[in-house]
Every structure is written in C-alpha cells, then in structure tokens.
Amino acid sequence: MTKNLPYLQVALDHSTLPEAIKAASLVGHDVDIIEAGTVCLLQVGSELVEILRKLYPNKIIVADTKCADAGGTVAHNNAIRGADWMTCICSATIPTMQAALKSIKNIREDRGEIQVELYGDWTYEQAQQWLDIGISQAIYHQSRDALLAGESWGTKDLERVKKLVEMGFRVSVTGGLNVETLKLFEGIDVFAFIAGRGITEAENPRQSAIEFKQEIKRIWG
Ligand code: 5RP
Ligand code: MG
C-alpha cells in the first residue's frame, strides 16, 4: 500500500460470526483495512480471520488479539489463517512481542507486522524499546469502557499521538470514532483511523464508511 491519506480500518467487534461477516461484506470494499475485532475473536477464534482472508484476498487483515503472552504461538495461529497484522497489548513483555513479530513475519513475510495497543500505563522508554526490536506501529486507544465512563478525546491524547509520530511510529487511533471526531486530529499524521460501531452500527454502514473516507480526504487530502 502506498501511503497518501490516513487509512480507514473497520473493526468487527460482533458477538457472532454471521454478524461480523455480514458487516464485512457491507463495507469491505470501501475500507483499506479489515480488523477481526477482539470481541469476535474471543467468541469464535481465528476462524473469523480465515473467512475474512477468503473474502478479501488482497486487503490487509488485522487480528486484534491484544496478545499479552505466548506471542509466537498466537501470531502463528492467526498468520496461518491469513492475518497480516496482529496486536499485542503494551504491557506484554519484550520477548512476547519479539516472538510474535518473528512468527508473523515467518508466515506473512514483509506484510507481517505487530502493532502495540496502548492502554493504561506505558512510557516513552518502553515505546523506544518497541521501536528498537522492529515494531513501528502503535494504536492509541480510548477504551470503550473509559468512553462509557465519560472520558473523551482531549489535548493530552493528541499530544501523545504527536509525540509517538515524532518518535517514528505509524500511529493508528481508535475508540468511539465517528465522522465528526476526525477533525480533532487535523494536522497530525495519523496512520489509520479504526472505527467499529461508527461504521457497523450506522443505519447504512457502507454510506458511513464512504463518509469517513470523504472526511479523511477533506482534511488530509
Ligand atoms: C476495543 C477495540 C475496538 O475494535 C476499537 O475501539 C474500535 O471500536 P469502536 O469504534 O466501536 O470504539 O479494539 O478494544
Ligand atoms: Mg479492535
């Protein structure tokens, strides 16, 4: 993929396989990246990844495992089913992340990448260690539960995203995004916007994905 505008990634966090597949088939051609969401992976396992790969042979498919341990095995299991990228939680150890990276690259070669999911406490020193072992994607997350508890995207989040970009990360952002929230990130070199409910629970998911893309083009084009 050549990098021009921030990418649009849809997260499939459904509780059943048929719902996730239906949502994927509605918007798969209109987004750049398709995520097998944590909620659905926990319910149905990496069969979801395999189906998405068959439906969309040329798209980047992400397994949002938020892997905390056994990185090599979890990455292997998802990569053989077709995941290009897999997430590790930021509190995972460096050996876990290294093992995950090695496994995913063994199978997906240059396409294979690990993304670090930033939740709770983490430091820029840790972030530098992730870069040092060859992980250059981070996902800045507003957790669903934090948003439900009244948190919102604010200056401190934007400053952290900017700092990670300056360090050399490709930074995706996620958590309760909708078309209106994209403008908060104007001026920041966001790698991908990851939207779940903002697309999949819209009255017309395909139209919502198209509107996300139009807004990305309006702001970053
Ligand atoms: C939750 C996730 C979700 O996939 C991500 O936050 C996108 O979902 P939504 O846009 O519905 O908040 O990883 O942990
Ligand atoms: Mg997710």
CB within 8 Å of 211: residues ≥ 6 apart: 179
Our mutation pick for probing the ligand 1 site, out of 15, 86, 87, 174, counting the most ligand atoms within 8 A of Cβ, is: 174
Residue 63 Cα to ligand 2 middle (Å) = 8
Q: Which helix (H) or strand (E) holds 158?
A: helix 155-167
Q: Residue 3 has what pLDDT? A: 53
Q: Which helix (H) or strand (E) holds 65?
A: strand 60-67
The string of pLDDT tens digits covering residues 121-174 is: 999 999 999 999 999 999 999 877 877 787 788 888 999 999 999 999 999 999
The string of pLDDT tens digits covering residues 53-89 is: 999 999 999 999 999 999 999 999 999 999 999 999 9
**Buried b / exposed e across 185-213, counting CB within 10 Å, b at 16+?**
beeeebbbbbbbebbbebeebbebbbbbb
Max intra-chain CA distance, the chain = 44
C-alpha gyration radius of the chain = 16
Q: Residue 151 has what pLDDT? A: 77
Our answer on whether the CB atom of 176 is closer than 6 Å to any ligand 1 atom is yes
CATH match of 7-114+177-220 with 3.20.20.70? yes
Question: Which ligand neighbours the alpha carbon of 141 most closely?
Answer: 1
